[in-house]
A and B are shown apart, each in its own frame.
Chain A
Amino acid sequence: MRRLLNEWVHLVRPAAVLIAAMGVFLIVRAAVIPKDFGKYGHYRPAALDLVRSRPIGYAGQDTCVMCHDDQAKLRASGKHAHVACEACHGPLAKHADDPGANIPKLPEVADLCRRCHEKDAAKPKGFPQVVTAEHNSGVACDSCHQPHNPHL
């Protein structure tokens, strides 16, 4: 102990270095961590804005109906009344923003109908299903059924 005290300088120097290092650490930490970190929990509130900033792809039912009310009326009276436009037509928010510049393509009918209506034992019993191979012998679905109001 006495030797340590005699050679106190060996303690003071590393202590000074340690304190300086801790000071640098605290300064860097304060600079790097956003001020509002921990406002809602152990995370950065700006992350919420980051997720929210994603552009919207599917405009939503209400937007489509604003212009295409004729199709909406036709659909409302049929079995597809509760199927949203974009469920078949795809994401069309860009079309809604600028209808002239972004003209949507018509969907591929064969795949589209089959996905929902191909017979499968796992589907709910009341749901209309067909075995396409037997049902239409290769004729396109929409040559008999109107997709917006699919009764014959």
Chain B
Amino acid sequence: MDISRRDLFTIGGKLLMLASVGATLEQITGAEAAPDAYKMADHWWGMIIDVDKCIGCGNCVRACSKENGVPAGYFRTWVERYQVEEGKENPRVDSPNGAIDGFPADTNPNLKSFFVPKLCNQCADSPCVQVCPVGATFISPDGVVMVDEKYCLGCRYCVQACPYGCRYLHPETQTVDKCTLCYHRITKGLTTACCENCPTGARQLVDFKDPKDPVHEFLRQNKVQVLKPQMATKAKVYYKDLDGSVR
């Protein structure tokens, strides 16, 4: 059989196209499935927080701390109490020990006061990931920002880069630690420890890639805001009815 130069190019071109389609498919589908069939490519995690439902009980902080073995005095999530006085530029903010035991009672009715739960905003365009010099902090294909503790040098670049103050240096491992959005739970069909234990449903884990997730209705029906939108971090934690004084 004779193969002309033209045939050779045609066949070669087709093979190249097939190979590239195969490679792209592999990338899109998140490559080989884990044995438990959790597909990273099918999820894009975030959280919605209804500020008006938060009662400042600190259940989330305690749950997070126990679930993830967070060292005492450090927090992956915490609750802030804002007290805004009319005409004053800056609000008063307190968070005694991250609100792990709730708050001392405040009954001053003359202030506008409310609670704001905080955690890693799981930014899609995260400053912490951009500054890591060794590829130790990264965003997973399902949208969770995590730290590779085996690669982290403890240089603290990311701690400084995070505009939300969500990272700390673990006092024992001397590597950076942060909220993993309970990655060990959400990849096994559970919700995060903080969401599981929130008694009022003020915080809720959401999957933006799930068309049935209540997040779509939530974003359509409510006035929502992310923290520090001017930082253009593409944060994925949405706050409902957030006051302008919150930083």
Chain A residues near B (Cβ < 8 Å):
37, 39-44, 47-48, 50-58, 60-61, 80, 82-84, 86-87, 90-91, 111, 114-116, 118-124, 127, 131
Chain B residues near A (Cβ < 8 Å):
31, 40, 52-59, 63, 66-68, 81-83, 101-103, 105-109, 111, 113-115, 135-141, 146-151, 180, 183-185, 187-188, 190-191, 193, 196-201
Distance of A124 Cα from B53 Cα, bound (Å): 6
Shortest Cβ distance from B185 into A: residue: A56
Interface SS of B by simple majority: loop
Q: Is the CB of A115 within 8 A of B149?
A: no
Distance of A82 Cα from B198 Cα, bound (Å): 9
B79 to chain A, nearest CB (A): 10
A86 touching B139 in the complex, CB below 8 Å, given contacts A44-B148, A44-B151? no
Q: Per a CB cutoff under 8 Å, which of B54, B139, B148, B190 touches A50?
A: B148
Q: Which residues of A contact B149 (CB under 8 A)?
A: 50
Q: Is the CB of A41 within 8 A of B53?
A: no
A51 touching B107 in the complex, CB below 8 Å, given contacts A82-B199, A116-B57? no
Q: Is the CB of B56 within 8 A of A91?
A: no
A35 to chain B, nearest CB (A): 13
Can you list 11 residue pairs at the A/B interface with Cβ under 8 Å? A40-B140, A41-B139, A43-B148, A47-B148, A47-B150, A58-B185, A82-B201, A87-B63, A90-B66, A116-B57, A122-B56
Q: Which residues of B contact A58 (CB under 8 A)?
A: 63, 66-67, 185, 190, 193, 196-197
A122 touching B81 in the complex, CB below 8 Å, given contacts A42-B135, A44-B135? yes
Distance of A37 Cα from B150 Cα, bound (Å): 14
Shortest Cβ distance from A118 into B: residue: B105
